[in-house]
Structures are given as C-alpha cells and as structure tokens.
Amino acid sequence: MNILLLGGGGREHALAWKIARSPLLEKLYVSPGNGGMGDVAELVSLNVKDHDEVVSFCKDKDIALVVIGPEDPLVDGLSDTLDQAGIKAFGPKAQAALLEGSKTFTKEICIKYGIPTAAYESFEDLKAAKSYVNDQGAPIVIKADGLAAGKGVTVAMSVVEAHEALEHCLDGSTGAQVVIEECLVGEEASFFALCDGSHALALATAQDHKRVGEGDIGPNTGGMGAYSPAPVMNDDLCAQVMDKIIQPTLRAMQDMNCPFQGVLYAGLMITDEGPKLIEYNVRFGDPECQVLMMRMKSDIVPLMLACAEGNLGGQSVEWEEDVAMVVVMANEGYPGSYPKGDEIHGIESANSLNNRFVFHAGTQNNDGKNLATGGRVLGVTAKGSTVQEAAKRAYEAVDCISWPHAFVRRDIGWRAIERETQ
C-alpha cells in the first residue's frame, strides 16, 4: 500500500522511519519532510491548507492511508476532507481535534465527565483575568486557549510574571482567550493511547523535558529531550489513567457525535491524589514519538489502519524492554531567535554507533550537506538496559555531531537516573 505522511519535524522522521519498516508498505511519500527523511521516503511539496490539492495527490498516487503528523492540519479539518473523499486518515476530525485546539473545550469536558484536572477559569478580558490572578496569587498557570506549538504555557511564579503572560496571550487579537489554572504539584508524565472512536489501546509511557535549561529552568520549548518508559508510571497508575481519563474522554466525544480516532496524548501530573490531566494533544508528542518508535516492536501500519477503520478492538502492541532516550540538539537562542544555515557534521558517525539513531527535525539537505535550519535541529536517540545506559549512549552520539551554534541540555533523564542510583 502507498502511504502519505504529512509533516517535517522530528516526530515525522520517527514515524517515517517506523512506517518504512512495515511489510505492508509499497511506497511512502512525505510532505514536506526534512533533510534526513529522503532516505526512507520520496519527499513531495504539498500545500496542506489546500485540501483539494492533498486529495488530488492521494488519488493520483493511489494513497491508501494519510498519516497526519502535526496538529494544525487536524484542527483545520483535513481528516474530514479526506474522509469525504473516501481516503483513510490517521488523525482525528476537526471537532475531535478541539481537545488540543481549545483548552477551554477540554476543561469543560473534564468538568462534565468528572475527569481529574486542575481547577481553572477562562477569560477573554485582560482586566478580569488580572483581577482573578490577583485573588488567586502565585504560582499559577497561564495557558493560551488555542494552538501554540507546545509553547503556549507559562508557569508563573509571581503575580507580575502571570500578568506579563496574560498580556502576551490577550494582546487584543479577535477571539483571544486564556485559561488560568491552579499549579499542580507532582511529577509530569506523558501517556499515549491509540483510539478508533470507541476503543483505546494504551501505548508506552514517556517523560519529556520542556524547559530549555538544565535543571528544568527557563522558558518552555517544544521539548529538549525525552525517555521511555516513564518510571513514575507503574501498572496501577496506567490503569487509573485509562479508566478515569482516557475512556471518559472517548465517551464524551461519542456523546458529542465526534468520535476520536487517532492517537490521544495525555500530559499528566502525578499528584498525591493520583494522576490529573494537564492537557491533551491529538497527535504524537515531539520528541516523545522518537523514543516510542525506537521501542515499538509491532508494525505500526496495521494499528494506524485499525484506528482509521474503527476496528482497534482486540489489537495489541509489543514493546522492547530496553529504555530509549532522545536528546534534542538545538540552535543557540531557541526558543527565541536563532541563527540558521550552519552545516552539520558528524551525523553519519553518530548513526554508525550501535543502538543509536539520529532523527532530523529542523534540517535541510543542500547538495548532500545537512544544514541546521530550525530551532530544534536533531533528535539523537539511543537504547539501553537502563536510563543511565541510554543516556550515556545518547550523549556519546551527541558528541559526534557539531555545528557552530549547536546547543544541548546535558541532563536529560536526570529524575529517572536519580531513581536508578538511589
């Protein structure tokens, strides 16, 4: 079968790498792709906002499945258009994608269906929002209501910082909205489940590092590294998440006549009261996808098809016991402004090491030269029997790679390593 994968980040390179290993695959197309994906797929240029162009390409190339990597096309309704054209898509339709597209939408579902989450209020008026923060005090969490590429959250440690975040979110834009939440205390974890509208299949857990600086300080990013499995998520906690968070959400979407089909990514806080939902994403996490794909033993294509066709019930997925870790190599200045276009050296040397693979994110291939063109540039991934071993191997591969403005955190996995060495 022919498959079209949409996206060009590290998540999509990991998905392409995994899909390319499926015996069901005849031809893989990727749009737009990046500098590393040409080895496993044919890169094509499509305007994903032009749904008719995507449909026309699918019909011309006899595409049996479209895998939509990023959130924007999902919220924009591309899955709806493909379904209307009789083309199977892995990824929810627009109404279901509001689980990521609107924080308020998700919070209202949590309240109605008793899903454990942080207390909150939504605001469109800046003065009213500031008054609420003044009453609540800090620390407090400020979230832009809509899509923000994983960077729309501020954990404000002071009222002044909260006011600044509110001013940024409620900048006078038409329809701008902000969610203000209590600051949950605990340990974060990422939980993934494949869904076909009525059934959910739990995948492996992961933990990522959102903050740009070592010690988890500084501004939020799209993710500076991750590892799987998450040591904090034992079998009992995973069962609680499925029973109290994932399944009620699927029921809610069915009740609203917009069943959720695709991958549901729950960002969790493990509190003294149990797991609570921080937020939903309606696609694989980046960089969590890289470590999930490294550990997944099962063929991912039948699972994606089962989600799209509504027959996930009875399916299972197998995982390698090894830990996987990804360390993100970024351009200096990220998540702010950063230089672009430096030539990257050493990727082949890193890939030659056992149990290591370098996933491309913000790269371009220019006449055989890999150029660092994005904020997050590479995801250097490794496997090991422990988090400590996976980290050692990942950083050995990192040290093979260089460009003039490369930046990397050196403490990915520190919580899990502390657990292992105590």
pLDDT, position 172: 64
Which domain-ending residue is among 285, 309, 333? Answer: 309
Q: What is the mean pLDDT of residues 231-248?
A: 96
| 214 and 274 together in one domain | yes
In a domain, 316, yes or no: no
In a domain, 105, yes or no: no
Which domain-ending residue is among 129, 161, 182? Answer: 182
Q: Which pLDDT tens digit goes with each residue over 77-120? A: 999 999 999 999 999 999 999 999 988 899 999 999 999 999 99
Q: Which pLDDT tens digit goes with each residue over 282-295? A: 999 999 999 999 99
Range of the domain at 170: 119-182
In a domain, 74, yes or no: yes
| 197 and 297 together in one domain | yes
pLDDT, position 139: 93
| 199 and 170 together in one domain | no
Binned at pLDDT 50, 70 and 90, residue 144 comes out as confident
| 137 and 224 together in one domain | no
In a domain, 12, yes or no: yes
| 205 and 281 together in one domain | yes
pLDDT, position 174: 53
| 303 and 210 together in one domain | yes
In a domain, 98, yes or no: no
DSSP state of 29: E
pLDDT surpassing 80 at residue 173: no
Q: What is the mean pLDDT of residues 310-315?
A: 94
| 264 and 191 together in one domain | yes
User: Domain count of the chain?
Assistant: 4
Q: What is the mean pLDDT of residues 169-196?
A: 87
pTM: 0.92
| 301 and 398 together in one domain | no
In a domain, 110, yes or no: no
Burial class (CB in 10 A: 0-12, 13-18, 19+), 216: middle
What is the CATH number for 170? 3.30.1490.20
| 298 and 214 together in one domain | yes
In a domain, 416, yes or no: yes
Pairing of strands 211-213, 261-271: unpaired
Burial class (CB in 10 A: 0-12, 13-18, 19+), 240: middle
Write the CB contacts of 389 (distance below 8 Å, at least 6 apart in sequence): 323
Distance CA 192, CA 233 (A): 12
Is 188 in contact with 207 (CB distance < 8 Å)?
yes
What is the CATH number for 231? 3.30.470.20
| 301 and 198 together in one domain | yes
DSSP helix, strand, coil percent of the chain (3-state; round to 5)? 35, 30, 35
In a domain, 160, yes or no: yes
Through-space distance between the first and last CA atoms of the chain, rounded to whole angstroms = 49
Q: Which pLDDT tens digit goes with each residue over 8-34? A: 999 999 999 999 999 999 999 999 999
Which domain-ending residue is among 241, 276, 309? Answer: 309
Distance CA 307, CA 261 (A): 6
| 177 and 209 together in one domain | no
Is 88 in contact with 309 (CB distance < 8 Å)?
yes
What is the CATH number for 6? 3.40.50.20
pLDDT, position 421: 85
pLDDT, position 37: 97
The whole-chain average pLDDT of the chain stands at: 95
pLDDT surpassing 70 at residue 148: no
| 296 and 340 together in one domain | no
What is the CATH number for 372? 3.90.600.10
